[in-house]
């Protein structure tokens, strides 16, 4: 029976190729995701390993929570104590911070979201440094800076060139390039830039006089790593830690891996969607071939083959198809990883350079996943194959007898839909942990797709009748036949359309939610914001120094400048977002108060706090309630609730807890503004815009925008993310396209004699092609008729679940989706239509 399966596959190479494509693309997405994220991890691991390869021990500041991105500095006297230890052969201290290079146009150099790294080093003791000088000399004076190779090439810098840098968003400072450096053997740090200063210059530049951010130490001869760590631990101040160089590199790598884990799961979700759609394609293809091979299976049964052996033939075909497709998909994923990398870099996200990593886990997981999905998809066709009676060997036609359970089909379909809806509603609105709810939501959506696909055959005839009416009216005989063909086998048409339905459902969900988010954001801006201008960083999503806001106040040009700072905090055992506002914030921020009011926001003082309504409800907070909040540096702030506000659905500039900027600046290092809102006499005019830009000319990272420009820039970020989602979801649409192609080709084979008869009685080749094309369009439109409404319903549920996102149908997008469905149908019909038109009439009439 295995030989029969292999022979049958080899005898139908086209069907095998088309069926395999669905799994190839799904597995490629999975393997490509693993390859890409493993490559990113490996690149950063190499960077950190190189950075700490010369250090036996590394001392850094320690945050109580939130990682190590804003670890506190510590006293330089710690270096003296460590050097005095007998277990230490040598030690040196350094400063690490951020600084951005300024281009010739006066704006900061874009790094695609990567940091502008700045280091202060002891140039007399560089034994721990992984940065090598390629030309020029090390910085030694207050005006010197060493620049990395990539930045030097981008800005056309050589030793002796003048360059400006912006330390932490503050005013730009001019420096002379003393030398060009490279990091280890790498020419790329993923878009990050390097600026190397001598230690005293860095301490002065970043306001860290007498402070250090890191100490690297070397063990004395005969001292073990543990002895070195124990000795250093004994002289460390609070909020610091010591690790071996290897441990520090691993901790940094783990932080990066945790940071990109979202990217991995995000991309894997789209690979899973493609495989799920592929399962529909495979099940449909095998079901059609089982029906077409009725006489073949009946002959085998009459020769003594058992039902289990027939079932084994179909399962083995699925197993071989799945394994071959998974192997191909595994290697296609290698190219897809490079494509995904290019896609992210095209969107501005620069990644460190490294060779693509092909881990054994990627191979095993991809092969097993693709093969298992294919085998599972083949089970139903395999069971159908066992229903072929031996007497069918002498009959014409390819109609399988109905299962004894067929009468329960409608009830089972409705039951699956009911269970799916219950799970979706629980996931969206139920109580309990986030994990179980998300699991219920995911399983519910998948079951809903299955349930709708099961119900779809009952809907195909009326849908095809309506959607095929234009074809029957305008397409003549070909259109009438296309409409009838779509209605002839509702189960087959429904299964083919179901694959496209899934993709269109998902893009509709995204489009509706995005439309609602944009509407709610605009509503929130119009409701909460009442400022003439907004000041942000150049890229709009990273904070900028509060110094630019201070400059605006000092200039006297603006009548009011209100900055909104942001940071992390912890209270009641969980981390939260902390914001801070300047006095008179209520003038530009109009909040909906449930308790307290504008006067409380303007007079928070040293201990006042404003909290949002949800947080107050979760922790039973009212006016006067105490809150003990911890900062990442381990400081505790004793606060009292002065007001509670209800944030709009579109979001608010204020975080969970809001305090005064005076208290924030006293408790957090390097305070920065996420937003700065500005009022100016005369409002928004070209002259006022020019005045503000003139004041901010010394702050290359500052960007002044009118209210409308601010809203548009925020929406542009949403739109960029949507484009990425649409591109990734396009994979499932492509899979469904091949499903339609596969079905049409198989039905052309199935209807060979019928097409030959039509040609014999006068149908032209052009009419034949038109018939196949219009049948494909009707099938695609059925997928759209099922998917788009389902997507709208799910979007409405999700919108309510994630915070009341308003339901708004993007009519333009829906029209585009319908047009896209028609295009998918036309593309899918190209090859089958040409094949049908080229059939030899005499051979077709004799075909069995």
Q: Which residues touch 544 (CB under 8 Å, ≥6 apart)?
A: 169, 535, 536, 537, 672, 673, 699, 701, 702
Strand-pairing partners, residue 355, are: none
**Which one has a higher pLDDT value, 64 or 5?**
64
Structure confidence at residue 139 (pLDDT): 94
Structure confidence at residue 350 (pLDDT): 65
Which band of pLDDT confidence, cut at 50, 70 and 90, is reported for residue 226? very high
Which band of pLDDT confidence, cut at 50, 70 and 90, is reported for residue 387? low
Contact criterion met (CB below 8 Å) for 127 and 218: yes
pTM here is 0.73
Structure confidence at residue 10 (pLDDT): 60
Which band of pLDDT confidence, cut at 50, 70 and 90, is reported for residue 538? confident
pLDDT tens per residue across span 678-720: 999 999 999 999 999 999 988 888 899 998 888 888 778 777 7
Strand-pairing partners, residue 673, are: 544, 565
Query: Is pLDDT above 60 for 354?
Result: yes
Give 664-688 as a DSSP string: HHHHSSS-EEEEEEEE-TT-S-HHH
Lowest mean pLDDT among 173-177, 296-300, 509-513: 296-300
- Per-residue HEC secondary structure of 165-216 comes to EEECCCCCEEEEEEEEEEECCECCCCCCEEEEEEHHHHHHHCCCCCEECEEE
**DSSP character for 70?**
T
Query: Is pLDDT above 80 for 746?
Result: no
Strand-pairing partners, residue 570, are: 575, 630
**DSSP character for 774?**
H
Which band of pLDDT confidence, cut at 50, 70 and 90, is reported for residue 183? confident
Say how far apart CA 621 and CA 615 lie, in whole Å. Answer: 8
**Average of per-residue pLDDT values in the chain:** 83
Contact criterion met (CB below 8 Å) for 521 and 650: yes
The owner of tokens 């350079």 is 353
The owner of tokens 């995000």 is 266
pLDDT tens per residue across span 118-162: 999 988 888 888 888 899 999 998 999 999 998 999 999 999 999
pLDDT tens per residue across span 423-445: 888 877 777 666 677 777 778 88
Residue range 224-233: average pLDDT?
93
Say how far apart CA 510 and CA 84 lie, in whole Å. Answer: 61
Query: Is pLDDT above 80 for 223?
Result: yes
Structure confidence at residue 57 (pLDDT): 93
Say how far apart CA 230 and CA 214 lie, in whole Å. Answer: 17
Q: Which residues touch 354 (CB under 8 Å, ≥6 apart)?
A: 39, 40, 42, 43, 46
Say how far apart CA 205 and CA 210 lie, in whole Å. Answer: 12
Structure confidence at residue 633 (pLDDT): 80
Structure confidence at residue 795 (pLDDT): 86
Say how far apart CA 805 and CA 480 lie, in whole Å. Answer: 44
Give 360-412 as a DSSP string: HHHHHHHHHHHHHHHHHHHHHHHHHHTT--GGGGGS-S-PPPPPTTGGGHHHH
Query: Is pLDDT above 70 for 389?
Result: no
Say how far apart CA 425 and CA 412 lie, in whole Å. Answer: 20
Structure confidence at residue 581 (pLDDT): 93
Lowest mean pLDDT among 56-60, 379-383, 533-537: 379-383
% of the chain residues with pLDDT over 90? 28
Query: Is pLDDT above 70 for 113?
Result: no
Contact criterion met (CB below 8 Å) for 240 and 60: yes
Question: Rounded to the nearest 10 degrees, what angle do helices 707-750 and 13-51 cross at?
Answer: 150
The owner of tokens 């101040």 is 237
Say how far apart CA 797 and CA 421 lie, in whole Å. Answer: 10
Q: Pull the structure tokens for residue 185.
A: 């053997």
Query: Is pLDDT above 80 for 163?
Result: yes
Q: Where are the beta strands (DSSP E) in 505-635?
A: 533-537, 544-545, 560-571, 574-581, 593-595, 608-612, 626-630
Structure confidence at residue 397 (pLDDT): 46
Question: Rounded to the nearest 10 degrees, what angle do helices 434-467 and 490-528 cross at?
Answer: 120
pLDDT tens per residue across span 86-99: 999 999 999 998 89
Which band of pLDDT confidence, cut at 50, 70 and 90, is reported for residue 805? confident
pLDDT tens per residue across span 281-292: 777 777 777 666
- Region at 129 (left for phi over 0; alpha for psi -120 to 50; beta for the rest): beta
Structure confidence at residue 12 (pLDDT): 63
Query: Is pLDDT above 90 for 267?
Result: no
Structure confidence at residue 136 (pLDDT): 93
**Which one has a higher pLDDT value, 194 or 29?**
194
Contact criterion met (CB below 8 Å) for 611 and 626: no
Say how far apart CA 357 and CA 141 lie, in whole Å. Answer: 43
Query: Is pLDDT above 60 for 607?
Result: yes
pLDDT tens per residue across span 572-599: 988 899 999 998 999 988 889 999 999 9
Q: Pull the structure tokens for residue 15.
A: 């069907």
Task: Tell me which residue of 449, 482, 508 sits closest to 779, measured CA to CA.
Answer: 482
Residue range 733-756: average pLDDT?
76
Q: Pull the structure tokens for residue 351.
A: 């990644």
Query: Is pLDDT above 80 for 507?
Result: yes
**Which one has a higher pLDDT value, 727 or 565?**
565
Which band of pLDDT confidence, cut at 50, 70 and 90, is reported for residue 398? very low
Contact criterion met (CB below 8 Å) for 98 and 213: no
- Per-residue HEC secondary structure of 427-496 comes to HHHCCCCHHHHHHHHHHHHHHHHHHHHHHHHHHHHHHHHHHCHHHHHHCHHHHHHHHHHHHHCHHHHHHH
pLDDT tens per residue across span 628-674: 999 888 889 999 999 999 988 767 888 999 999 999 999 887 788 88
Which band of pLDDT confidence, cut at 50, 70 and 90, is reported for residue 335? confident
pLDDT tens per residue across span 25-84: 888 888 888 888 888 888 788 888 888 888 999 999 887 766 555 678 899 999 999 999
State whether residue 275 is helix, strand or coil: helix
Say how far apart CA 468 and CA 484 lie, in whole Å. Answer: 8
Say how far apart CA 651 and CA 805 lie, in whole Å. Answer: 10
């Amino acid at each position: 029976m295995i030989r029969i399966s292999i022979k049958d596959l080899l005898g139908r190479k086209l069907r095998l190729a088309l069926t395999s494509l669905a799994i190839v693309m799904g597995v490629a997405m999975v393997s490509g995701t693993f390859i890409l994220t493993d490559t990113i991890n490996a690149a950063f691991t190499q960077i950190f390993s190189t950075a700490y390869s010369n250090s036996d021990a590394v001392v850094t500041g320690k945050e109580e929570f939130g990682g190590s991105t804003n670890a506190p500095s510590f006293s330089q006297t710690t270096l003296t104590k460590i050097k005095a230890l007998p277990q230490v052969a040598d030690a040196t201290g350094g400063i690490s911070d951020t600084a951005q290079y300024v281009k010739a146009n006066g704006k900061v150099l874009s790094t695609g979201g990567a940091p502008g790294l700045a280091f202060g080093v002891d140039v007399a003791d560089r034994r721990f440094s992984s940065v090598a000088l390629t030309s020029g000399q090390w910085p030694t004076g207050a005006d010197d800076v060493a620049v990395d190779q990539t930045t030097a090439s981008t800005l056309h810098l050589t030793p002796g060139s003048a360059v400006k840098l912006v330390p932490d968003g503050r005013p730009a400072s001019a420096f002379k390039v003393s030398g060009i450096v490279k990091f280890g053997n790498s020419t790329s740090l993923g878009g990050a830039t390097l600026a190397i200063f001598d230690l005293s210059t860095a301490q002065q530049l970043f306001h860290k006089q007498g402070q250090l951010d890191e100490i690297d130490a070397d063990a004395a001869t005969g001292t073990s790593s543990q002895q070195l760590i124990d000795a250093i631990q004994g002289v460390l101040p609070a909020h610091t830690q010591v690790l071996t160089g290897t441990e520090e590199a691993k901790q940094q790598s783990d932080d990066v891996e945790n940071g990109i884990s979202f990217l991995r799961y995000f991309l894997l979700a789209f690979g899973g969607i493609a495989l799920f759609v592929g399962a529909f394609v495979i099940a449909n293809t095998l079901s059609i071939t089982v029906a077409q091979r009725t006489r073949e299976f009946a002959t085998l049964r009459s020769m003594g083959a058992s039902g289990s052996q027939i079932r084994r033939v179909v399962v083995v075909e699925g197993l071989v198809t799945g394994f071959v497709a998974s192997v191909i998909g595994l290697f296609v994923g290698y190219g897809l990883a490079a494509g995904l990398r290019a896609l992210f870099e095209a969107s501005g996200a620069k990644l460190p350079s490294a060779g693509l990593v092909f881990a054994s886990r990627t191979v095993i997981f991809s092969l097993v996943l693709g093969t298992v999905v294919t085998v599972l998809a083949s089970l139903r066709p395999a069971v159908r194959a066992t229903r072929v009676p031996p007497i069918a060997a002498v009959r014409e036609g390819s109609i399988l007898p109905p299962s004894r359970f067929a009468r329960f089909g409608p009830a089972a379909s409705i039951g699956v839909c009911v269970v799916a809806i219950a799970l979706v509603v629980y996931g969206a609105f139920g109580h309990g942990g986030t994990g179980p709810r998300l699991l219920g939501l995911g399983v519910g959506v998948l079951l809903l797709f299955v349930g709708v696909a099961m119900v779809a055959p009952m809907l195909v005839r009326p849908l095809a009748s309506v959607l095929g009416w234009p074809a029957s009216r305008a397409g003549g005989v070909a259109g009438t036949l296309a409409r009838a063909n779509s209605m002839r086998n509702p189960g087959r048409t429904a299964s083919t359309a179901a694959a496209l339905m899934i993709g269109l459902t998902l893009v509709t969900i995204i489009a509706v939610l995005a439309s609602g988010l944009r509407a709610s954001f605009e509503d929130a801006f119009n409701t909460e914001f009442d400022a003439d201008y907004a000041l942000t960083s150049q890229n709009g999503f990273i904070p900028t120094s509060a110094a630019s806001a201070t400059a605006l106040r000092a200039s006297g040009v603006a009548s009011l400048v209100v900055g909104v700072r942001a940071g992390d905090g912890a209270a009641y055992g969980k981390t939260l977002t902390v914001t801070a506002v300047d006095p008179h914030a209520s003038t530009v921020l109009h909040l909906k108060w449930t308790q307290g009011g504008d006067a409380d926001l303007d007079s928070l003082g040293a201990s006042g706090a404003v909290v949002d309504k949800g947080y107050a409800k979760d922790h039973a907070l009212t006016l006067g309630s105490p809150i003990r909040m911890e900062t990442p540096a381990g400081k505790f702030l004793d606060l009292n609730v002065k007001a509670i506000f209800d944030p709009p659905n579109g979001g608010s500039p204020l975080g969970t807890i809001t305090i005064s900027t005076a208290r924030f600046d006293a408790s957090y290092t390097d305070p920065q503004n996420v937003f700065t809102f500005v009022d100016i006499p005369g409002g928004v005019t070209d002259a006022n815009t020019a005045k503000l830009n003139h004041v901010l000319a010394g702050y290359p990272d500052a960007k002044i925008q009118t209210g409308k420009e601010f809203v548009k820039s925020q929406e542009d970020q949403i739109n960029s993310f949507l484009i990425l989602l649409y591109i990734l979801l396009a994979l499932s649409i492509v899979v469904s396209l091949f499903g339609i192609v596969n079905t049409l080709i198989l039905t052309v084979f199935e209807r060979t004699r019928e097409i030959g008869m039509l040609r014999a009685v006068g149908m032209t080749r052009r009419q034949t092609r038109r018939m196949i094309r219009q049948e494909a369009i009707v099938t695609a439109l059925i997928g759209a008729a099922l998917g788009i409404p389902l997507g709208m319903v799910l979007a409405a549920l999700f919108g309510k679940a994630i915070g009341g996102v308003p339901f708004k149908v993007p009519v333009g997008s829906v029209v585009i989706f319908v047009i896209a469905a028609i295009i998918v149908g036309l593309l899918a019909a190209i090859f089958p239509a040409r094949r049908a038109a080229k059939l030899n009439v005499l051979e077709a009439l004799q075909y069995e």
